[in-house]
Amino acid sequence: MATALAQLRRAVEQLELPENDWNTLSTPRRILEVAVPLRRDDGRVEMYKGYRVQYSTTRGPSKGGVRFHQDIDLDETIALAMLMTWKCALTNLPYGGAKGGVAVDVQTLSLAENERLTRRYTSEILPIIGPERDIPAPDVGTDERNMAWMMDTYSVNAGFSVPGVVTGKPIVLGGSLGRTSATGDGVAIATREALKLRGIDPEGATVAIQGFGKVGYWAAVALEKMGLKVVAVSDVYGGVTGFNSVAEIWDYYRANGTLSGAPGTDSITNQELLWLDVDVLIPAALADAITKATASQIKARIVVEGANAPTTPEGDAIMNSNGIQVVPDILANSGGVIVSYFEWVQDKQNYFWSAQDVRDNLNSILMKAIIEVEEMAAFKKVTWREAAHMLGVSRVAEAHRLRGLYP
Protein backbone atom coordinates (compact mmCIF):
# COMPACT_ATOMS: atom_id res chain seq x y z
CA MET A 1 0.00 0.00 0.00
CA ALA A 2 2.91 2.35 0.74
CA THR A 3 4.17 2.03 -2.84
CA ALA A 4 0.74 2.63 -4.37
CA LEU A 5 0.14 5.64 -2.12
CA ALA A 6 3.56 7.11 -2.98
CA GLN A 7 2.77 6.77 -6.71
CA LEU A 8 -0.59 8.46 -6.16
CA ARG A 9 0.99 11.28 -4.12
CA ARG A 10 3.44 11.94 -6.94
CA ALA A 11 0.69 11.97 -9.57
CA VAL A 12 -1.40 14.37 -7.46
CA GLU A 13 1.60 16.69 -7.10
CA GLN A 14 2.57 16.51 -10.77
CA LEU A 15 -1.03 17.26 -11.77
CA GLU A 16 -1.15 20.06 -9.17
CA LEU A 17 -4.45 18.73 -7.86
CA PRO A 18 -5.90 20.34 -4.71
CA GLU A 19 -5.55 18.63 -1.32
CA ASN A 20 -9.28 17.78 -1.40
CA ASP A 21 -8.60 15.53 -4.40
CA TRP A 22 -5.75 13.80 -2.58
CA ASN A 23 -8.12 13.14 0.33
CA THR A 24 -10.79 11.55 -1.86
CA LEU A 25 -8.40 9.69 -4.17
CA SER A 26 -6.28 8.17 -1.40
CA THR A 27 -9.23 6.59 0.43
CA PRO A 28 -10.77 3.20 -0.48
CA ARG A 29 -14.57 3.52 -0.64
CA ARG A 30 -15.71 0.12 0.62
CA ILE A 31 -13.85 -2.68 2.37
CA LEU A 32 -15.36 -6.05 3.25
CA GLU A 33 -13.44 -8.58 5.29
CA VAL A 34 -15.05 -11.98 5.65
CA ALA A 35 -14.34 -15.27 7.35
CA VAL A 36 -14.56 -18.13 4.87
CA PRO A 37 -15.13 -21.54 6.45
CA LEU A 38 -13.96 -24.53 4.43
CA ARG A 39 -14.91 -28.14 5.07
CA ARG A 40 -11.87 -30.15 4.00
CA ASP A 41 -12.35 -33.48 2.28
CA ASP A 42 -11.39 -35.27 5.53
CA GLY A 43 -14.11 -33.47 7.50
CA ARG A 44 -11.95 -30.85 9.26
CA VAL A 45 -13.30 -27.29 9.18
CA GLU A 46 -10.80 -24.48 8.61
CA MET A 47 -11.31 -20.73 8.54
CA TYR A 48 -9.72 -18.46 5.92
CA LYS A 49 -9.68 -14.70 5.66
CA GLY A 50 -11.31 -13.24 2.57
CA TYR A 51 -11.50 -9.67 1.28
CA ARG A 52 -13.24 -7.55 -1.31
CA VAL A 53 -12.12 -3.95 -1.64
CA GLN A 54 -14.06 -1.53 -3.84
CA TYR A 55 -11.50 1.21 -4.09
CA SER A 56 -13.50 3.46 -6.39
CA THR A 57 -16.92 3.55 -8.04
CA THR A 58 -16.60 7.08 -9.38
CA ARG A 59 -16.37 6.16 -13.07
CA GLY A 60 -18.69 3.15 -12.97
CA PRO A 61 -19.09 -0.21 -11.24
CA SER A 62 -15.91 -1.41 -9.57
CA LYS A 63 -13.87 -4.03 -11.41
CA GLY A 64 -10.98 -6.30 -10.56
CA GLY A 65 -9.77 -9.81 -9.95
CA VAL A 66 -9.95 -12.31 -7.11
CA ARG A 67 -6.63 -13.62 -5.85
CA PHE A 68 -6.16 -16.90 -3.98
CA HIS A 69 -2.71 -16.74 -2.41
CA GLN A 70 -1.36 -17.49 1.04
CA ASP A 71 0.32 -14.07 1.37
CA ILE A 72 -2.66 -11.89 0.47
CA ASP A 73 -3.76 -9.46 3.18
CA LEU A 74 -5.99 -6.41 3.42
CA ASP A 75 -3.18 -3.92 2.83
CA GLU A 76 -2.13 -5.57 -0.44
CA THR A 77 -5.75 -5.98 -1.57
CA ILE A 78 -6.35 -2.24 -1.10
CA ALA A 79 -3.19 -1.42 -3.07
CA LEU A 80 -4.19 -3.74 -5.92
CA ALA A 81 -7.73 -2.29 -5.94
CA MET A 82 -6.21 1.19 -6.19
CA LEU A 83 -4.08 0.10 -9.15
CA MET A 84 -7.19 -1.32 -10.87
CA THR A 85 -8.82 2.12 -10.50
CA TRP A 86 -6.02 3.90 -12.39
CA LYS A 87 -5.76 1.01 -14.90
CA CYS A 88 -9.46 1.23 -15.85
CA ALA A 89 -9.29 5.03 -16.08
CA LEU A 90 -6.08 4.95 -18.15
CA THR A 91 -7.71 2.66 -20.70
CA ASN A 92 -10.98 4.63 -20.54
CA LEU A 93 -13.11 1.69 -19.41
CA PRO A 94 -16.33 2.79 -17.65
CA TYR A 95 -15.30 1.22 -14.35
CA GLY A 96 -13.96 2.03 -10.93
CA GLY A 97 -11.46 -0.36 -9.36
CA ALA A 98 -11.65 -3.34 -7.00
CA LYS A 99 -9.75 -6.42 -5.87
CA GLY A 100 -10.57 -9.41 -3.74
CA GLY A 101 -8.92 -12.46 -2.41
CA VAL A 102 -8.65 -15.29 0.03
CA ALA A 103 -5.49 -15.97 2.04
CA VAL A 104 -5.12 -19.60 1.07
CA ASP A 105 -2.48 -21.74 -0.60
CA VAL A 106 -4.47 -23.14 -3.55
CA GLN A 107 -1.85 -25.85 -4.10
CA THR A 108 -3.11 -27.50 -0.91
CA LEU A 109 -6.75 -27.65 -2.07
CA SER A 110 -8.42 -30.51 -3.89
CA LEU A 111 -10.72 -29.52 -6.75
CA ALA A 112 -13.78 -30.08 -4.54
CA GLU A 113 -12.26 -27.97 -1.73
CA ASN A 114 -11.43 -25.20 -4.19
CA GLU A 115 -15.04 -25.23 -5.39
CA ARG A 116 -16.46 -25.09 -1.85
CA LEU A 117 -14.10 -22.27 -0.89
CA THR A 118 -14.93 -20.29 -4.04
CA ARG A 119 -18.68 -20.71 -3.53
CA ARG A 120 -18.55 -19.75 0.14
CA TYR A 121 -16.34 -16.73 -0.54
CA THR A 122 -18.79 -15.68 -3.28
CA SER A 123 -21.77 -16.01 -0.97
CA GLU A 124 -19.97 -13.93 1.69
CA ILE A 125 -19.33 -11.04 -0.74
CA LEU A 126 -22.63 -11.53 -2.59
CA PRO A 127 -24.37 -8.42 -1.19
CA ILE A 128 -21.80 -6.07 -2.71
CA ILE A 129 -21.12 -7.65 -6.12
CA GLY A 130 -23.26 -7.69 -9.27
CA PRO A 131 -23.09 -6.68 -12.94
CA GLU A 132 -23.99 -3.07 -12.08
CA ARG A 133 -22.01 -2.96 -8.82
CA ASP A 134 -18.72 -4.81 -8.82
CA ILE A 135 -17.53 -7.41 -11.30
CA PRO A 136 -14.84 -9.91 -10.19
CA ALA A 137 -12.46 -11.69 -12.59
CA PRO A 138 -9.52 -14.11 -12.38
CA ASP A 139 -6.21 -13.09 -10.82
CA VAL A 140 -3.29 -14.99 -9.27
CA GLY A 141 -4.49 -18.45 -8.17
CA THR A 142 -7.91 -18.32 -9.83
CA ASP A 143 -9.08 -19.15 -13.35
CA GLU A 144 -12.16 -19.72 -15.48
CA ARG A 145 -13.31 -22.64 -13.30
CA ASN A 146 -13.49 -20.35 -10.27
CA MET A 147 -15.41 -17.80 -12.36
CA ALA A 148 -17.91 -20.49 -13.42
CA TRP A 149 -18.53 -21.37 -9.74
CA MET A 150 -18.84 -17.70 -8.79
CA MET A 151 -21.29 -17.07 -11.64
CA ASP A 152 -23.32 -20.14 -10.63
CA THR A 153 -23.39 -19.23 -6.92
CA TYR A 154 -24.57 -15.70 -7.70
CA SER A 155 -27.12 -16.93 -10.25
CA VAL A 156 -28.60 -19.61 -7.96
CA ASN A 157 -29.13 -16.94 -5.31
CA ALA A 158 -30.67 -14.54 -7.83
CA GLY A 159 -32.95 -17.27 -9.23
CA PHE A 160 -31.84 -16.73 -12.82
CA SER A 161 -28.61 -16.72 -14.84
CA VAL A 162 -26.46 -13.64 -14.38
CA PRO A 163 -23.41 -14.12 -16.60
CA GLY A 164 -22.34 -10.47 -16.31
CA VAL A 165 -21.51 -10.77 -12.59
CA VAL A 166 -18.00 -12.03 -13.36
CA THR A 167 -15.67 -11.95 -16.35
CA GLY A 168 -13.07 -14.47 -17.43
CA LYS A 169 -15.75 -17.19 -17.60
CA PRO A 170 -15.69 -20.25 -19.85
CA ILE A 171 -16.95 -19.39 -23.35
CA VAL A 172 -20.08 -21.58 -23.04
CA LEU A 173 -21.20 -19.61 -19.95
CA GLY A 174 -20.95 -16.24 -21.67
CA GLY A 175 -17.19 -15.78 -21.69
CA SER A 176 -15.46 -13.88 -24.44
CA LEU A 177 -13.24 -15.28 -27.14
CA GLY A 178 -9.71 -14.07 -26.53
CA ARG A 179 -10.08 -13.44 -22.78
CA THR A 180 -7.74 -16.27 -21.72
CA SER A 181 -4.81 -14.88 -23.68
CA ALA A 182 -5.79 -11.20 -23.37
CA THR A 183 -3.34 -10.09 -20.66
CA GLY A 184 -0.43 -11.80 -22.42
CA ASP A 185 -1.56 -10.44 -25.80
CA GLY A 186 -1.60 -6.94 -24.33
CA VAL A 187 1.87 -7.43 -22.80
CA ALA A 188 3.12 -8.43 -26.27
CA ILE A 189 1.55 -5.38 -27.94
CA ALA A 190 3.06 -3.08 -25.30
CA THR A 191 6.46 -4.77 -25.76
CA ARG A 192 6.35 -4.37 -29.52
CA GLU A 193 5.46 -0.67 -29.30
CA ALA A 194 8.10 0.05 -26.62
CA LEU A 195 10.75 -1.63 -28.77
CA LYS A 196 9.72 0.36 -31.85
CA LEU A 197 9.83 3.64 -29.91
CA ARG A 198 13.31 2.73 -28.74
CA GLY A 199 14.37 2.03 -32.33
CA ILE A 200 14.83 -1.72 -31.72
CA ASP A 201 13.52 -4.12 -34.37
CA PRO A 202 11.13 -6.57 -32.66
CA GLU A 203 12.18 -9.26 -35.16
CA GLY A 204 14.80 -11.34 -33.36
CA ALA A 205 14.79 -9.21 -30.16
CA THR A 206 15.40 -11.38 -27.09
CA VAL A 207 12.99 -11.73 -24.13
CA ALA A 208 13.20 -13.24 -20.65
CA ILE A 209 9.91 -13.88 -18.85
CA GLN A 210 9.58 -14.40 -15.11
CA GLY A 211 6.39 -16.39 -14.53
CA PHE A 212 4.89 -18.99 -16.87
CA GLY A 213 1.25 -18.76 -15.82
CA LYS A 214 -1.79 -16.99 -17.26
CA VAL A 215 0.20 -13.88 -18.15
CA GLY A 216 3.73 -15.14 -18.85
CA TYR A 217 2.74 -18.10 -21.00
CA TRP A 218 0.40 -16.18 -23.28
CA ALA A 219 2.85 -13.28 -23.55
CA ALA A 220 5.52 -15.78 -24.63
CA VAL A 221 3.22 -17.25 -27.28
CA ALA A 222 2.25 -13.83 -28.67
CA LEU A 223 5.81 -12.48 -28.63
CA GLU A 224 7.15 -15.51 -30.47
CA LYS A 225 4.44 -15.02 -33.10
CA MET A 226 5.62 -11.41 -33.49
CA GLY A 227 9.12 -12.66 -34.30
CA LEU A 228 10.82 -12.11 -30.94
CA LYS A 229 13.00 -14.82 -29.41
CA VAL A 230 11.91 -15.99 -25.94
CA VAL A 231 15.18 -17.12 -24.37
CA ALA A 232 14.19 -17.76 -20.74
CA VAL A 233 11.07 -18.54 -18.71
CA SER A 234 10.54 -19.44 -15.05
CA ASP A 235 7.97 -20.52 -12.49
CA VAL A 236 8.09 -20.09 -8.70
CA TYR A 237 10.79 -22.72 -8.35
CA GLY A 238 13.20 -21.38 -11.00
CA GLY A 239 13.70 -21.10 -14.72
CA VAL A 240 15.36 -22.47 -17.84
CA THR A 241 17.21 -21.22 -20.89
CA GLY A 242 18.21 -23.06 -24.06
CA PHE A 243 14.81 -24.38 -25.22
CA ASN A 244 13.95 -24.18 -28.92
CA SER A 245 10.41 -22.84 -28.81
CA VAL A 246 7.68 -21.78 -26.37
CA ALA A 247 5.53 -24.73 -27.49
CA GLU A 248 8.35 -27.18 -26.72
CA ILE A 249 8.98 -25.91 -23.19
CA TRP A 250 5.24 -25.58 -22.51
CA ASP A 251 4.67 -29.24 -23.49
CA TYR A 252 7.42 -30.30 -21.08
CA TYR A 253 6.01 -28.07 -18.33
CA ARG A 254 2.47 -29.44 -18.78
CA ALA A 255 3.66 -33.02 -18.74
CA ASN A 256 6.08 -32.71 -15.79
CA GLY A 257 4.69 -29.87 -13.66
CA THR A 258 8.15 -28.28 -13.56
CA LEU A 259 10.49 -26.50 -15.95
CA SER A 260 13.67 -27.95 -14.55
CA GLY A 261 15.16 -30.94 -16.32
CA ALA A 262 13.72 -30.15 -19.74
CA PRO A 263 16.02 -31.84 -22.29
CA GLY A 264 18.69 -29.54 -23.73
CA THR A 265 18.00 -26.68 -21.29
CA ASP A 266 20.03 -25.10 -18.50
CA SER A 267 18.47 -24.29 -15.15
CA ILE A 268 18.67 -20.75 -13.74
CA THR A 269 17.29 -19.12 -10.61
CA ASN A 270 14.58 -16.49 -10.75
CA GLN A 271 17.19 -13.89 -9.83
CA GLU A 272 19.53 -15.00 -12.63
CA LEU A 273 16.64 -14.66 -15.05
CA LEU A 274 16.20 -11.00 -14.07
CA TRP A 275 19.85 -10.34 -14.85
CA LEU A 276 20.07 -11.97 -18.29
CA ASP A 277 21.53 -9.94 -21.13
CA VAL A 278 18.31 -9.58 -23.14
CA ASP A 279 16.46 -6.79 -24.93
CA VAL A 280 13.27 -7.23 -22.91
CA LEU A 281 12.58 -8.44 -19.39
CA ILE A 282 8.99 -9.27 -18.45
CA PRO A 283 8.26 -9.78 -14.74
CA ALA A 284 4.96 -11.68 -14.92
CA ALA A 285 4.77 -13.32 -11.51
CA LEU A 286 4.16 -11.65 -8.15
CA ALA A 287 4.85 -8.25 -6.58
CA ASP A 288 8.26 -6.90 -5.56
CA ALA A 289 10.49 -8.88 -7.95
CA ILE A 290 12.54 -5.83 -8.92
CA THR A 291 13.95 -4.23 -5.80
CA LYS A 292 16.92 -2.23 -4.57
CA ALA A 293 18.77 -5.54 -4.35
CA THR A 294 18.00 -6.79 -7.86
CA ALA A 295 17.47 -3.68 -10.07
CA SER A 296 21.07 -2.51 -10.54
CA GLN A 297 22.10 -5.74 -12.29
CA ILE A 298 19.28 -5.73 -14.83
CA LYS A 299 20.73 -5.57 -18.34
CA ALA A 300 17.50 -5.50 -20.37
CA ARG A 301 16.81 -2.28 -22.21
CA ILE A 302 13.07 -2.53 -21.73
CA VAL A 303 11.10 -3.91 -18.77
CA VAL A 304 7.43 -4.68 -19.37
CA GLU A 305 5.44 -5.28 -16.18
CA GLY A 306 3.13 -8.23 -16.83
CA ALA A 307 2.52 -8.65 -13.09
CA ASN A 308 0.85 -6.09 -10.86
CA ALA A 309 3.34 -4.05 -8.81
CA PRO A 310 6.46 -6.15 -9.60
CA THR A 311 8.76 -3.18 -8.92
CA THR A 312 9.47 -1.38 -5.64
CA PRO A 313 10.02 2.42 -5.74
CA GLU A 314 13.78 1.89 -5.10
CA GLY A 315 13.97 -0.65 -7.93
CA ASP A 316 12.09 1.76 -10.18
CA ALA A 317 14.47 4.65 -9.41
CA ILE A 318 17.53 2.49 -10.18
CA MET A 319 16.10 1.33 -13.52
CA ASN A 320 15.20 4.91 -14.46
CA SER A 321 18.67 6.19 -13.69
CA ASN A 322 20.17 3.31 -15.71
CA GLY A 323 18.10 4.38 -18.72
CA ILE A 324 15.87 1.30 -18.75
CA GLN A 325 12.47 1.95 -20.32
CA VAL A 326 9.80 0.61 -17.95
CA VAL A 327 6.32 -0.07 -19.31
CA PRO A 328 4.26 0.12 -16.11
CA ASP A 329 1.82 -2.55 -14.95
CA ILE A 330 -1.33 -0.47 -15.34
CA LEU A 331 -0.54 -0.09 -19.04
CA ALA A 332 1.36 -3.29 -19.81
CA ASN A 333 -1.10 -5.77 -18.29
CA SER A 334 -4.33 -3.88 -19.03
CA GLY A 335 -5.24 -6.27 -21.89
CA GLY A 336 -6.93 -8.56 -19.35
CA VAL A 337 -9.37 -6.02 -18.00
CA ILE A 338 -9.93 -4.54 -21.47
CA VAL A 339 -11.20 -7.90 -22.75
CA SER A 340 -13.09 -8.36 -19.45
CA TYR A 341 -14.90 -5.18 -20.40
CA PHE A 342 -15.72 -6.66 -23.84
CA GLU A 343 -17.03 -9.79 -22.10
CA TRP A 344 -19.30 -7.71 -19.84
CA VAL A 345 -20.59 -5.72 -22.85
CA GLN A 346 -21.29 -8.97 -24.76
CA ASP A 347 -23.11 -10.43 -21.73
CA LYS A 348 -25.22 -7.28 -21.43
CA GLN A 349 -26.19 -7.43 -25.10
CA ASN A 350 -26.35 -11.23 -25.43
CA TYR A 351 -24.46 -10.74 -28.66
CA PHE A 352 -21.05 -12.36 -29.01
CA TRP A 353 -18.14 -11.07 -31.03
CA SER A 354 -15.73 -12.89 -33.31
CA ALA A 355 -12.14 -13.46 -32.18
CA GLN A 356 -11.08 -10.92 -34.81
CA ASP A 357 -13.42 -8.26 -33.37
CA VAL A 358 -11.95 -8.87 -29.90
CA ARG A 359 -8.39 -8.61 -31.24
CA ASP A 360 -9.09 -5.42 -33.22
CA ASN A 361 -10.83 -3.68 -30.33
CA LEU A 362 -8.15 -4.71 -27.83
CA ASN A 363 -5.49 -3.40 -30.15
CA SER A 364 -7.20 -0.05 -30.67
CA ILE A 365 -7.91 0.61 -26.96
CA LEU A 366 -4.41 -0.41 -25.90
CA MET A 367 -2.68 1.49 -28.71
CA LYS A 368 -4.58 4.64 -27.76
CA ALA A 369 -3.44 4.30 -24.14
CA ILE A 370 0.18 3.62 -25.20
CA ILE A 371 0.24 6.69 -27.44
CA GLU A 372 -1.33 8.86 -24.73
CA VAL A 373 1.23 7.69 -22.16
CA GLU A 374 4.08 8.24 -24.57
CA GLU A 375 2.87 11.75 -25.41
CA MET A 376 2.28 12.67 -21.77
CA ALA A 377 5.74 11.36 -20.79
CA ALA A 378 7.38 13.42 -23.56
CA PHE A 379 5.32 16.56 -22.87
CA LYS A 380 5.76 16.55 -19.07
CA LYS A 381 9.25 15.01 -19.14
CA VAL A 382 8.23 12.22 -16.78
CA THR A 383 8.58 8.43 -16.83
CA TRP A 384 5.97 6.20 -18.45
CA ARG A 385 4.87 5.09 -14.97
CA GLU A 386 4.34 8.68 -13.89
CA ALA A 387 2.57 9.55 -17.14
CA ALA A 388 0.26 6.51 -16.86
CA HIS A 389 -0.65 7.41 -13.28
CA MET A 390 -1.20 11.06 -14.20
CA LEU A 391 -3.64 10.06 -16.94
CA GLY A 392 -5.52 7.55 -14.79
CA VAL A 393 -5.64 9.69 -11.68
CA SER A 394 -6.67 12.88 -13.53
CA ARG A 395 -9.64 11.09 -15.14
CA VAL A 396 -10.90 9.81 -11.78
CA ALA A 397 -10.38 13.25 -10.22
CA GLU A 398 -12.28 14.94 -13.04
CA ALA A 399 -15.19 12.48 -12.83
CA HIS A 400 -15.31 13.04 -9.09
CA ARG A 401 -15.33 16.80 -9.52
CA LEU A 402 -18.15 16.66 -12.08
CA ARG A 403 -20.29 14.34 -9.95
CA GLY A 404 -19.79 16.61 -6.94
CA LEU A 405 -20.19 15.69 -3.31
CA TYR A 406 -23.41 14.27 -1.85
CA PRO A 407 -25.03 15.77 0.15
Question: Which sequence positions are flagged as catalytic?
Answer: 99
d(CA 295, CA 278): 14
Residue nearest to ligand GLU (CB): 65
Least gap, CB of 137 to ligand GLU (angstroms): 3
CA angle 340, 345, 349 (to 5 degrees): 145
Nearer to ligand GLU, 283 or 336 (CB): 336
User: Least separation, in Å, of the C-beta of 45 and ligand GLU?
Assistant: 29
Concatenated DSSP letters for 287-343? S--B-HHHHTT---SEEE--SSS-B-HHHHHHHHHTT-EEE-HHHHTTHHHHHHHHH
Give the span between the Cα atoms of 387 and 375, in whole angstroms. 9
On whether the CB atoms of residues 294 and 318 are closer than 8 A, the answer is: no
Nearer to ligand GLU, 315 or 336 (CB): 336
Minimum separation from the CB atom of position 61 to ligand GLU (A): 11
Residue number with CB closer to ligand GLU (63 or 192): 63
Measured from the CB atom, the residue of 270 and 333 that comes closer to ligand GLU is 333
What gap in Å lies between CA 295 and CA 314, rounded to an integer? 8
Shortest separation between residue 265's beta carbon and ligand GLU, angstroms: 30
Judged by the rule CB under 6 A, the positions of this chain that interact with ligand GLU are: 63-65, 137, 139, 167, 308, 333, 336-337, 340
SS3 at position 236 = coil
| Cβ neighbour number for residue 280 with a 10 Å cutoff | 28
Nearer to ligand GLU, 53 or 231 (CB): 53
Residue pair 195/223 in contact by the 8 Å Cβ criterion: no
Least Å distance, CB 280 to ligand GLU, is 20
In which region does residue 140 sit, left (phi positive, over 0), alpha (psi from -120 to 50) or beta (all else)? Answer: beta
